[in-house]
Each structure stands twice: as structure tokens, then as C-alpha cells.
A and B are shown apart, each in its own frame.
Chain A
Amino acid sequence: MLRIPCPGCGERDYTEFRYGGDASKTRPAHGTGDVRHWHDHVFLFDNPKGPHREYWQHVLGCRRWLVVERDTATNRVLAVRFAAQASPP
């Protein structure tokens, strides 16, 4: 079972959380960039076999969004922060 240590609630089963996808990308500012720029942001993934930065929301706990760093080869959680306090990717 993947368990995520929520900074607010402690370590919980991943079933308490909602997965929110890749957090390693920075959304382009509105009105900037061409179509290709936005295409790359929305559709392309690094999909690493190793450390992956991703969003999870603790929907059955504090309901806050987290940025989790997890090794996709082992599912080991390497770091967790509240998304609001996480450093930009």
C-alpha cells in the first residue's frame, strides 16, 4: 500500500487522497507563448522512472493539495509539502 505522510494529518493510505498529476511543469502565463508552447505544457510528460513530482489532494483529511516527490520505480515517497508552500518546479 502506498502511504503518504500528509504534513497536516500524518501518514495515511493513498486511498484517502486524490491524485492530481504531474507537478513538475510550470503553466505558461496567460497570453504568453504560442500553441506549441501550450501543447507541450498540456500534453507532453517526462514520465520518469525514478523521482517524480506530483500533486495529491488529501480529500478525506485536511483537503489540502500536496506536492509529493515519489520514486515511480519503487513507490517510495521522498518528500511531501503543502502545494501552497512548495517551491516552484
Chain B
Amino acid sequence: MSARYSFAALLRHAVTGAPWPRAWRRAEPKRSYDVIVIGGGGHGLATAFYLAHNHGIRSVAVLERGYIGSGNVGRNTTLVRSNYQMDGNTQFFEHSLKLWEGLSHTLNYNVMLSQRGQIVLAHGPAQLDVLARKGNIMRLNGIDAEPLDRGQVMRLLPYLDYSDRARFPIHGGLLQRRAGTVRHDAVAWGYARAADRLGVDIIEHCEVTGFTQHAGKVTGVSTTRGTIGAGRTAISVAGHSSQLAAMAGLRIPVESHLLQAFVSEPIKPFIDHVISFGAELFYISQSDKGGLVFGGHIDGFNSFTQRGQFPKVQTVAECAVALVPAISRLKLLRHWAGIQDMTPDGSPFIGRTQRSNLYFNGGWCYQGFKATPAVGWCFAHTIAHDEEHPLIRHLALDRFERGNGHDEYGLGLWTYRQ
């Protein structure tokens, strides 16, 4: 029985055949905790871990309605990168990428970070200018970025469509070598296990049904497994953020939309990088099992069904074939949808709320997975100190009231068009 994973432990278990211990305890809810984190996804587990690890707050419970890994932490396309150009985002996502780089060691759990590099493509000179500007912003912030011309892209990605028939000819791109993929289930399990080892109670199949309040302060939650008291309560649920906020009497600038993702049948190693199409929102990479993993835009209207619409499958497949004609006869193995918080400016909310002792993290649009470690880091700081971490001050819940929308993509104030 080895509590800590190591090469020696692996050998010992291989020789003796001893079963591995559970990765985390099956905790029963106590009467009260210093902090309750609602939502056992990547963000909630990371928050609990950093509360215990960075701030010494070990009386923490993570309440999960389903089971660990059942939500969006297991439904995303596993990409991590830090190529953002708006001040605030640039630094926040770079902090996240740096945490990803050390995460397997921090958690004593192999999250299988693969820094295979991400290439964003430009399909015209103007788009290449925009990417060059983004690359300059990244480099000024100490982040790696390499502009590529058409010839360099051809050498790195020889299988794209460079013919005269290409609907969107490739002019060049921007490469971030440190970007890549992470095994998303391992992130959930690794954070859960590491938090558990620091004393955090991870309580699965426990749905929050309301908040208990006293004199304008949130004092705990009522759940399907009884009432639990809390010094501080943090919402980190994604998909049902509005429903949780409404239980505390708050209306928030979030709508729930569906994002679909796709995996093809497995093939031999073919796509070595993460590639982002520049003509539509489409990105593709290859998993360790050989399947091509790709995704596109949200379905376009709010929904909680977790079932994507078929026309979006066609759009995404069209993008895939326009970019990589060689995969036109590949079969889809699976496709699925996650419920995703969408906000009017495409940026998330993280910080304090109008209610004392209640903290909110949500509205992550397309960006939730890559942000996981930095969200945990900054949200834990915010909860522990009752003050926003400097890296997330631009992501306040009341930023629209102050005219401080944060629109990285400049698409206008429509949740369903971000």
C-alpha cells in the first residue's frame, strides 16, 4: 500500500501484486467547514488544493453533484496555451501555463503534459499582421511566440491544403512551442488526490439545493445530504452557475450554451502539434491513443441538454477537411457536448460577490480547462484573503457596471456569438 506514487512504489506493487489504495477517501459531510467549494470539477478541486497547500486552510469540503470528472473537466479538448493579447489575460494564462509545467510534480500525479506546440494559422496578410502583433505582446510579457511564414508552416505541417484549390490559402502562422495538451481526467484525479491528502473532504453525489444566510451573510449550504455550515462558500460549477447564483438571490451576466467536441477513430501518429484554423473557430490535435481530437464553435443558442445539434457536426467536419484534406474519409468515433457558461464579453468572472462570505467563479466560455491551475491558485487566494488576487482583478463580477468589459475577441455584447 503506497500512498505516494514513485518508480519504487510501482516496482513494489508490480512484484507483490498489492492493490493500490483509493486515490481519495469517500468522505462523509461534517457539520461545518471553514470553506465549502461547490463543484468538484477541475476548478473546484484546484481551488480546494491551493486553499490547503498555499494558505494552510485544511477544513475544506468540495461538494460535487455527480462524480469527480463527470463534468466539463472530462469533456474539453485538453488544450493548454497562453497566447492571449489583452493585458490581464496575457499574464493570467501565462501563470496558468507555468503551473501546468510543474503540475505533475506538485501533485505527485502524472497529468501527461505534452508541450507539442500550438500553431494558429493566418489566411491572409492582414491576419498575419494581427498574429504578429499578438506574438509581440506575448514576447514583451516574456512568453514564447514565433511568427511563421508560409514556407515554415509548410515544413512543420506538410499535410495541410497548400493547393490552388484551398478555400482559405495559408499565409503563415504563430507558433507557441510551450503550448500543448494535458490528460484532462488526470487533472481531476490528481487534484482530488492531492487535496484529499492535505485533509480536504471530497463529497461526491451531494447536490447543493440552497444557501443558508444570516444577517446578509452566507453561512452554509443545504444539500441533498443535509445542511452544512461554512465560514466561506465558493461557487465553481460551470453550466449551472446561474442556478447556483439564483439560490443566493443573485442574477449574473451568464448564459448556458453547448459546446461540442469530437474524436475520430485512432490512426497512426500524424498531427504532431495543436493546430488552430484561422478562418473559423476550429482546432485539432491528436491524442496519445491516436484519435484526432477537434472542436469548433458553440451551437449558437442557450441550452442545458448536453446534446449537440447535428448541423454543427457538419460545420466542424467541413473545417477539418478544408484544413487537412487527407482526413476526409476518417470516421468519427465519438462526439459529445458540454454545458458551458457564456458571458457578454467572452471573459469569465472570478472573485467576491454582493453577498458576504460568498465567492464566485464561472463564465469561462471556451477557456476553462487551460485556466484550471491559475483559477485554483487565484480563487484560493481570493477566498483566503477576502480580496481578489492581482491576476484576476480585471475579471470582477460587477465589471460591466463600471464599464470595464474585457472582450479579448471584440465580438460585441452577445453571449451566443462569442
Query: A interface vs B, CB < 8 Å?
Result: 1-2, 13-15, 19, 21-22, 35-36, 39-40, 42-47, 49, 52, 54, 72-75
Known A-B contacts A54-B301, A72-B304, A73-B305; the reply to A21 vs B416 at CB < 8 A is yes
Cα separation A73 to B401 with both chains bound (whole Å): 30
Known A-B contacts A36-B401, A45-B242; the reply to A19 vs B254 at CB < 8 A is no
Q: Which of A13, A40, A43, A74 contacts B305 (CB 8 A)?
A: A74
Residue among B301, B344, B416 with the most chain A CB within 10 A?
A: B301
Q: Are B311 and A15 in contact (CB under 8 A)?
A: yes
At the interface, is chain A mostly helix, strand, loop or mixed?
mixed
> What is the minimal beta-carbon distance from B175 to any residue of chain A, in angstroms?
35
Q: Are A49 and B414 in contact (CB under 8 A)?
A: no
Cα separation A46 to B245 with both chains bound (whole Å): 10
Known A-B contacts A39-B401, A72-B303; the reply to A47 vs B255 at CB < 8 A is yes
Instruction: Kindly state whether residue B12 has any CB partner on chain A within 8 Å.
Output: no
Cα separation A69 to B310 with both chains bound (whole Å): 21
Cα separation A42 to B310 with both chains bound (whole Å): 31
Q: Are A13 and B311 in contact (CB under 8 A)?
A: yes
Q: Which of A14, A40, A46 contacts B242 (CB 8 A)?
A: A46
Query: What are 22 A-B interface contacts by the 8 Å CB criterion?
Result: A2-B301, A13-B311, A21-B415, A36-B401, A42-B400, A43-B344, A43-B400, A44-B252, A45-B242, A45-B253, A45-B254, A47-B242, A47-B243, A47-B256, A47-B302, A49-B240, A49-B243, A49-B256, A72-B304, A73-B304, A74-B305, A75-B303
Query: B interface vs A, CB < 8 Å?
Result: 240, 242-243, 246, 251-256, 300-305, 307, 309-311, 344, 400-401, 413-416
Shortest beta-carbon contacts, A-B, top 5: A47-B242, A43-B253, A44-B251, A19-B301, A43-B400
Q: Are A19 and B300 in contact (CB under 8 A)?
A: yes
Cα separation A32 to B252 with both chains bound (whole Å): 23
B414 — which chain A residues lie within 8 A by C-beta?
A: 21
A15 — which chain B residues lie within 8 A by C-beta?
A: 311
Q: Which residue of B lies closest to A35 (CB)?
A: B401
Q: Which residue of B lies closest to A36 (CB)?
A: B401
Cα separation A72 to B304 with both chains bound (whole Å): 6
